[in-house]
Structure 1
Amino acid sequence: LFIFVLGGIYGGIFTVQEAAGVGAIGTLLIGMVRRRLRWPQIRAALIGALRVSSAIMMIVVGAYLFGYFLTITQFTQNAVDFLVHLPVGPYGVLALIMVGYLVLGAVMDELAMILLTVPIVFPAMMQLGFDPVWFGVIVVMAVTFGMICPPVGMNVFVINSIARDVPLGSIYKGTMPFIAVDVVRLLILCAFPAISLWLPGFIE
């Protein structure tokens, strides 16, 4: 199944999103053939997927409404003008935005944070002369930082649900070295944009 899904992506048979559906259907069929899945398990999985999908769609709907609000109130343009004219220089503005992402990443869902903040900060970064691909890379990295950062840390709760005998506090302590490495990695990419641009450069 793993080879089939990756082969389909790299072979151009289906997109990444379609590959997710193919993988889910393949897993379901394998489980049914091997008689490892019963209807109660399938029903519980479908209900769980429906709840997660509904929550994501509510976030997307809220983000679209928020974007419409920003458009009619011209808040985005005012925010861009404010950021561009801050007396700290382009990299000072970048540092403030990255700190904001690191703080928000600890308390917000990643998808919601991207949908709500990128329409505001992206135009400002473009006016300051930053590369859009590079900025997208560091934003994604800053956002995913929140997946292991307390107090939310989605991945931390996933680990806690698997290793129930390990206290949540111990898991958070174990993430501290990774948090430090993520911060250093983010600083390196901010200081040397070419690191994140050399591979996309081959596509051009």
Structure 2
Amino acid sequence: MDTITIAILGFAALFLLLFIRMPVGTAMMLVGAGGIYAIRPQASLPVVAGEIFSEASNYPLTILPLFILMGNLAGVSGMSRDLYTAAHSWLGHMRGGLASATIVGCAGFSALSGSSLAAAVTMGRVSLPEMQRYRYDNGLATGAIAAGGTLGILIPPSAGFVVYAILTEESIGRLFMAGVLPGLMLTGLFILAIWLVVLRDPGKAPQSAEAEPMEARIAALGRASWIVGIILLTIGGIYTGAFSAVEAAGIGALLALGVTILRGQLTWPNLRDVVTNTLKSTGTVFLILFGAFVFKTFVGFTGVTYALTQWVGAQGFTAMQVVVAILLAFIVLGTFLEGFAILVLTIPLVQPILQSLGVDLIWFGVLMVIVLEMALISPPVGINVFVVKGIAREVPLGTIFRGIWPFWFAMLAAVILVLLIPDLALLLPDTMFG
């Protein structure tokens, strides 16, 4: 059996395992190990063991548990609630202001946690009761939470960018900087989407909170200064070259721990929850990476990426045509595959093609992560929608899915803007120190 046929059978087996809901890391490791054995039996065990050990001892990956820890500490210390309260104070009196405050709160929390699920859960528990109290439409309220949570994999520190950087061997720091402006732009597009929804149907946000005095707004902003300061220090430190991305993660986690202690929230139950959640999240991501690298090695053994690169070159496609085609394929995959699964499955295939066409992988990484955000809310598998459903048990799932469409199209607009204006993604990475 030739290697191309083995590659096709391997991908078919992988999709079958994912269809029956086997964890993506386990599925990729099984298929990768089996495929390597089919091609080079004597190499199977050494490759699997070597890839697992290599990733487990990969120093840059220490950034993941540190940023996850920082996000969990921000939750138990009350910093996330302070951030939402500040956004509520400044925006809550506007039409649709509570939903906009939720988006801003999710964006701020994303700059600490790097996790879309954590952002959706944390901000959803704070903001949903408030929006329901003011009789917001359930679709708009839950859609804003689900979409706002997706910012966790675009605004740095982003677990999606870390995994992408490891797979493509790009700079984590440059990818983090590349996500800043698109993240801010997408936050603005989400708020614009809310404004347009409410403009079209004012009944979706029938009542606004009363405008708070300026003194109250400044006081609320002051209480949120801890989280704002940590965000500016970590991201600013990376941009100016004061410290690396890994060092920024360590400093941020230490500061978050200090705030938690100062606020008297480092109780035994909180500490146990923080450590447990950090270990679970880290273990999940590491298992995906272990499987991804075993599978990536299998794909390399088959030679299918070389064959695809040769075929694309023979067709005479331009780099932009190929990028758009890949992004469209990712949007389709996002309707039935989880974002991380798309990332680790496709990068080994598309990276050689993109490199042969001279595509900037930092720019493409931003585009890919925005498309993965779309997958997080795309029916029928959008995982953020199901997370929000766990918070809003009384809201029908169909209502939540209907509520996400304005935000889905806002993401599509963001993809188009980054395609047309690459400097939105490349300006900060190209001007950062070093």
Offset of residue 17 of structure 1: 3.9
Offset of residue 98 of structure 1: 1.0
Q: Is the 8 A contact 1:80 1:120 kept in 2?
A: no
Q: Is the 8 A contact 1:189 1:196 kept in 2?
A: yes
CA distance in 2, matches of 1:195, 1:5: 20
CA distance in 2, matches of 1:66, 1:82: 22
- Out of 123, 138, 142, the position equivalent to 2:367 is 138
CA distance in 2, matches of 1:13, 1:195: 23
CA distance in 1, matches of 2:370, 2:260: 35
CA distance 1:199–1:29, shift in 2 (3 Å): closer
Corresponding position: 1:155 with 2:384: yes
Offset of residue 83 of structure 1: 3.2
The runs of at least 4 aligned residues of structure 1 exceeding 6 Å deviation read: none
CA distance in 1, matches of 2:347, 2:383: 21
Offset of residue 87 of structure 1: 6.7
Corresponding position: 1:6 with 2:235: no
Query: Which is greater in Rg?
Result: 2
Offset of residue 19 of structure 1: 3.6
The residue type equivalent to 2:402 in the other structure is K
- Out of 270, 274, 280, the position equivalent to 1:45 is 274
Q: For residues 131-159 of structure 1, what are the alpha-carbon distances to aligned partners after superposition, in whole Å with 9 as ceiling and x for unaligned? A: 43332322222222212222333333343
SS at match of 2:376: coil
Q: Is the 8 A contact 1:5 1:22 kept in 2?
A: no
Deviates more, 1:48-57 or 1:192-201: 192-201
CA distance 1:40–1:202, shift in 2 (3 Å): closer
TM-score normalized by structure 1?
A: 0.79
Q: Is the 8 A contact 1:110 1:143 kept in 2?
A: yes
Offset of residue 104 of structure 1: 2.3
The residue type equivalent to 2:350 in the other structure is V
Offset of residue 178 of structure 1: 1.1
What number of residue pairs does the alignment pair up? 204
Percent identity (aligned): 33
CA distance 1:54–1:144, shift in 2 (3 Å): same
CA distance in 2, matches of 1:82, 1:190: 24
CA distance in 1, matches of 2:264, 2:378: 39
CA distance in 1, matches of 2:247, 2:337: 28
The residue type equivalent to 2:365 in the other structure is G
The corresponding residue for 1:72 is 301
The corresponding residue for 1:122 is 351
Offset of residue 86 of structure 1: 4.0
The corresponding residue for 1:106 is 335
The residue type equivalent to 1:176 in the other structure is W
Q: Which has the higher contact order (CA 8 A, sep 6+)?
A: 2
The corresponding residue for 1:62 is 291
Offset of residue 88 of structure 1: 5.8
Q: What RMSD, in angstroms, separates the aligned Cα atoms of the two structures?
A: 3.0
Offset of residue 5 of structure 1: 5.1
SS at match of 1:130: coil
Offset of residue 56 of structure 1: 0.8
CA distance 1:108–1:8, shift in 2 (3 Å): same
Offset of residue 75 of structure 1: 1.9
The residue type equivalent to 2:411 in the other structure is D
Where does the alignment leave 5 or more consecutive residues of structure 2 unmatched? Answer: 1-225
CA distance in 2, matches of 1:42, 1:22: 19
Q: For residues 89-139 of structure 1, what are the alpha-carbon distances to aligned partners after superposition, in whole Å with 9 as ceiling and x for unaligned? A: 544433321111112233333333223312321221232343433323222
SS at match of 1:111: helix
Where does the alignment leave 5 or more consecutive residues of structure 1 unmatched? Answer: none
CA distance 1:161–1:29, shift in 2 (3 Å): farther
CA distance in 2, matches of 1:34, 1:128: 53
CA distance 1:15–1:166, shift in 2 (3 Å): farther
TM-score normalized by structure 2?
A: 0.41
Q: Is the 8 A contact 1:9 1:15 kept in 2?
A: no
Q: Is the 8 A contact 2:234 2:249 kept in 1?
A: no
Deviates more, 1:49-58 or 1:128-137: 128-137
The corresponding residue for 2:414 is 185
CA distance 1:21–1:172, shift in 2 (3 Å): farther
CA distance in 2, matches of 1:70, 1:162: 40
